[in-house]
């Protein structure tokens, strides 16, 4: 027996494809790597991966080995953008992944494993140009990278870095990172070492620092922009459409008397008799607690304010402006209903965060539903 899901995340793969093509046009002649970590930011990795592959993705980027192995059957190169733990080296070589080379010792271990398996493995040198997270310190990196050049069965396929504050427009620190990385590339080229793939830009830099997508860079990484979202501070330089909508249903409709309190902690007390609805979604489904007493949803195309604290499974709303609402009605938490649109960015502003976190917080019981699937572009 199949029942309609109480909460669903609708993903428009047609819009995703159009967004990806727009990003490709923006960065050409550089190619685009689709970053699909964290289950494609919560949207569902395989449908998203198949869509962007058809739209011309050059490569997939992920955070760790399990995510990478899942994508191998799709046939595109897969680069791990994080690191490898010691017990992950052998399967990374076996599956033909592009392995992160965060230091010389890691490169030696990967090389030795490739020799043992009688395979040639592609490596991507990770350079810390100012992020302070992973990789070789940019000012001291050249000798270690040059030492990697002679390691057997290891192809130095790529070199890459990552911005720390590219979401800030006209940011001096980002320009310093870019200059440091370019200086390293020139030093390595002077020693006779160049790379087939060079990349530094991700979604924020595609907009704020387009020079990081031009030569010597051959590739740009893209994650959140594919889905039509930006960091709150980014200069939006592309026409991208949000591809997801979060929907649920009205579970109950009641009238509560003046003075009644709503939810845990009695955070809201009614000043008058009020028609209220209980919707079948809560923070386990991705609704941030920060929306308590502040957020809105859409019912029958009208804004309905959240009353009280959001619970794990349910949220109470005012239906004073929707007297015809009945249990079972569709509720849009973010997205479009009729002529009204509730952007995910409003949630982000209320919580003091960004779209990345909110998408990744949508719960596992929320059904992912895919619309406008396209085979080819």
User: Per residue in 210-267, pLDDT tens?
Assistant: 999 999 999 999 999 999 998 777 778 888 999 999 999 999 999 999 999 999 999 9
- Tens of pLDDT, residue by residue over 37-76, are 999 999 999 999 999 999 999 999 999 999 999 999 999 9
What is the DSSP secondary structure assignment for residue 73, as one 8-state letter? G
302 is written with which tokens?
């009208």
Fold of domain 13-227: TIM Barrel (3.20.20)
Architecture of the domain delimited by 244-342 = Beta Barrel (2.40)
Is 374 a residue whose pLDDT tops 80?
no
pTM: 0.92
Contacts of 87 (CB under 8 A, 6+ apart): none
Select which of 37, 230, 247, 283 is catalytic: 37
Residue 227 is among the residues annotated as catalytic for this protein: no
Task: Over range 337-360, report the average pLDDT.
Answer: 88
- Per the CB < 8 A criterion, the answer to whether 376 and 54 are in contact is yes
Contacts of 121 (CB under 8 A, 6+ apart): 92, 93, 96, 97, 99, 110, 111, 113, 114, 153, 154, 155
Residue 173 is among the residues annotated as catalytic for this protein: no
- Structural domain boundaries of the chain? 13-227, 244-342
SS3 of 203-222: the string is HHHHHHCHHHHCCCCCEEEE
pLDDT at position 375 is: 47
Q: Is 94 exposed, middle or buried (0-12, 13-18, 19+ CB in 10 A)?
A: middle
State which H helix or E strand residue 306 sits in: strand 302-307
pLDDT at position 237 is: 81
Task: Over range 357-373, report the average pLDDT.
Answer: 91
Is 171 a residue whose pLDDT tops 80?
yes
Residue written as tokens 């020079």?
211
What is the DSSP secondary structure assignment for residue 274, as one 8-state letter? E
Tell how far CA 275 is from the center of its chain. Answer: 38
362 is written with which tokens?
């949508």
Q: Label residue 376 by pLDDT band (50, 70, 90).
A: very low
Task: Over range 350-360, report the average pLDDT.
Answer: 86
pLDDT at position 166 is: 87
Fold agreement (13-227, 244-342):
no
In this structure, what is the dihedral angle of CA atoms 166, 242, 12, 1, given to the nearest 10 degrees?
100
């Amino acid at each position: 027996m199949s029942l309609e899901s109480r909460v669903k995340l609708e993903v428009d793969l047609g819009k995703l494809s159009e967004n990806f093509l727009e990003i490709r046009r923006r960065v050409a002649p550089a190619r685009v790597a689709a970053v699909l970590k964290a289950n494609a930011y919560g949207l569902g990795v395989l449908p998203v991966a198949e869509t962007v592959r058809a739209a011309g993705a050059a490569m997939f980027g992920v955070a760790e080995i399990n995510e990478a192995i899942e994508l191998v059957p799709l046939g595109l190169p897969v680069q791990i953008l994080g690191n490898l733990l010691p017990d992950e080296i052998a399967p990374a070589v076996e599956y033909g992944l592009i392995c992160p080379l965060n230091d010389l010792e890691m490169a030696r271990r990967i090389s030795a494993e490739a020799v043992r398996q009688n395979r040639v493995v592609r490596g991507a040198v990770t350079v810390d140009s100012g992020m302070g997270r992973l990789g070789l310190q940019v000012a001291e990196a050249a000798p270690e990278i040059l030492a990697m050049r002679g390691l057997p069965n290891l192809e130095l396929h790529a070199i890459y870095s990552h911005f720390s504050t590219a979401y800030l427009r006209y940011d001096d620190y980002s320009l310093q990172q870019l200059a440091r990385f370019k200086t390293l590339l020139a030093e390595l080229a002077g020693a006779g070492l160049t790379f087939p793939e060079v990349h530094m830009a991700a979604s924020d830099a595609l907009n704020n620092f387009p020079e990081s997508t031009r030569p010597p860079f051959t590739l740009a990484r893209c994650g959140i922009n594919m889905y039509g979202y930006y960091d709150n501070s980014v200069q939006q330089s592309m026409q991208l459409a949000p591809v997801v909508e979060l929907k649920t249903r009205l579970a109950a409709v009641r009238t509560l008397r003046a003075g009644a309190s709503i939810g845990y902690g009695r955070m809201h007390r009614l000043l008058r008799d009020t028609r209220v609805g209980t919707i079948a979604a809560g923070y386990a489904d991705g609704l941030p607690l920060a929306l308590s007493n502040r957020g809105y949803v859409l019912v029958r195309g009208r804004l309905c304010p959240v009353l009280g604290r959001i619970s794990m499974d349910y949220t109470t709303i005012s239906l004073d402006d929707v007297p015809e609402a009945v249990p079972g009605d569709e509720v849009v938490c973010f997205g479009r209903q009729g002529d009204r649109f509730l952007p995910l960015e409003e949630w982000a502003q209320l919580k003091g965060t960004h779209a990345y976190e909110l998408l990744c917080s949508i719960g596992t019981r929320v059904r992912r539903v895919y619309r406008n699937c396209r085979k080819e572009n």
